[in-house]
Each structure stands twice: as structure tokens, then as C-alpha cells.
């Protein structure tokens, strides 16, 4: 041990996450990163490795946080149908809140890097699979409570809902009319019965 770090690793990683989330991997330069993170270039390399490793750390932080938030939101509502509707409506509200349309960091990465980098193919796939399990558990809770019909194939339904969520998140980037989104949501949630 010698001199102590003058920055908080979690804090600067959070800053890097925000930037990568907003701009993607290629469009974010090291200069952008040092400016936003508030630390110098060598500090980044000593703490996180190269640009791609930093990106990976940022994405891992994102997926963990996101999965946890999602689980909490879905569990907080006793009605499964309401839980899903609120969840989807929050995603929509986030995009229409005026700020830059960041969408989902994991989905952005799935599009930009997964096809050319196996590490990110796996990382993004596993996150989506994990989310679909959270959906599935929520659906199963609805079946247990009698709110949903027992004949429903919870797993298949969860996977279809995740796919719709991805589609919704992506198309929101093109800022479609509100009616498009509302229609999509109504039809998609009609699968829960």
C-alpha cells in the first residue's frame, strides 16, 4: 500500500456507465470519459483496464442494478396485471420525460456489440434471460393467487413479454406517437388473462 485513491471507484464507474449508456461504445472517446468521470486517463487504465474492460464493468453495474429494480417494482404490487402495466408504463414515461432517449444500456449493447463480440453476446443474452425469469416468477405468482388462468404457459408468456419490452424500448427511440405505444401496450398486456 502507498498513496490512497482520490476518487471513489463506484462513483466514477457510475459516471462512465451514464456516458456509455447515452452514447454507446464507439461514439464515446477516452476524452469524453475523463471529462465526465473527473479523473485522468492513466487513472482509468489503472483502475479499470482498457476502454472495453471499462465498458464491460459499466454494463455489469447496469444489468445488476436494473435487474434488482425490476424485481422490486414487480413484487411491490399485489396485482400481477397492475404490476406489469405499471412497469411498462414507467418505461414509456421515462422515454417521454424529455431528456435524451437512452433506452436500455443492455439493449443498446446487444445491437452495437453482441454481433461482433462473443463476450457481449453472452452477457446481454444472460441478462435478458434473467429478466424473463423475473417475468415468469411474477406470472406464476398471478397463477397461484388465482388472478391469472392456470392454463397459461408462464415461461413462454414471460419470454414473449420480454421480447415486446425490448421492441417497445427500441421503438421509443424513434419517438413514435403516443397512440402507437398505448395501442401496443394494451394489446401486449391482453396476453395476461
Nearest distance, CB of residue 9 and DNA, angstroms: 10
**H or E element at residue 120:** helix 118-145
Contact between 43 and 7 (Cβ < 8 Å): yes
Residues 6 or more apart in contact with residue 169 via CB below 8 angstroms: 91, 95, 103, 104, 107
| Contact call for residue 61 and a second copy (CB under 8 A) | no
Q: Which helix (H) or strand (E) holds 87?
A: helix 80-95
Residue 176 as a binder of a second copy (CB under 8 A): the answer is: yes
- E-assigned strand segments in 31-76: none
Query: Using the rule CB under 8 A, is 168 a contact of a second copy?
Result: yes
Q: Which residues bind DNA (CB under 7 A)?
A: 1-7, 28-32, 39-43, 45-47, 50-52
Q: Which residues bind a second copy (CB under 8 A)?
A: 23-24, 26-27, 100-103, 107-108, 110-112, 114-116, 121-122, 124-125, 128-129, 132, 153, 155-157, 159-160, 162-168, 170-171, 173-176, 180, 183-184, 186-188, 190-191
Amino acid at each position: 500500500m502507498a498513496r490512497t485513491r482520490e476518487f471513489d471507484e463506484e462513483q466514477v464507474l457510475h459516471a462512465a456507465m451514464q456516458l456509455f449508456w447515452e452514447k454507446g461504445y464507439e461514439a464515446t472517446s477516452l476524452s469524453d470519459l475523463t471529462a465526465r468521470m473527473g479523473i485522468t486517463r492513466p487513472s482509468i487504465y489503472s483502475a479499470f483496464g482498457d476502454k472495453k474492460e471499462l465498458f464491460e464493468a459499466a454494463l455489469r453495474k447496469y444489468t445488476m442494478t436494473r435487474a434488482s429494480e425490476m424485481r422490486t417494482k414487480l413484487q411491490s404490487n399485489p396485482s400481477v396485471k397492475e404490476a406489469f402495466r405499471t412497469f411498462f408504463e414507467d418505461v414509456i414515461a421515462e422515454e417521454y420525460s424529455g431528456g435524451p432517449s437512452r433506452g436500455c444500456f443492455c439493449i443498446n449493447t446487444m445491437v452495437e456489440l453482441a454481433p461482433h463480440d462473443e463476450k457481449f453476446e453472452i452477457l446481454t443474452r444472460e441478462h435478458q434471460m434473467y429478466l424473463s425469469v423475473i417475468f415468469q416468477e411474477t406470472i406464476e405468482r398471478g397463477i397461484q393467487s388465482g388472478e391469472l388462468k392456470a392454463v397459461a404457459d408462464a415461461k413462454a408468456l414471460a419470454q414473449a413479454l420480454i421480447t415486446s419490452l425490448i421492441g417497445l424500448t427500441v421503438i421509443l427511440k424513434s419517438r413514435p406517437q403516443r397512440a402507437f405505444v398505448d395501442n401496443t401496450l394494451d394489446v401486449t398486456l391482453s396476453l395476461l388473462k
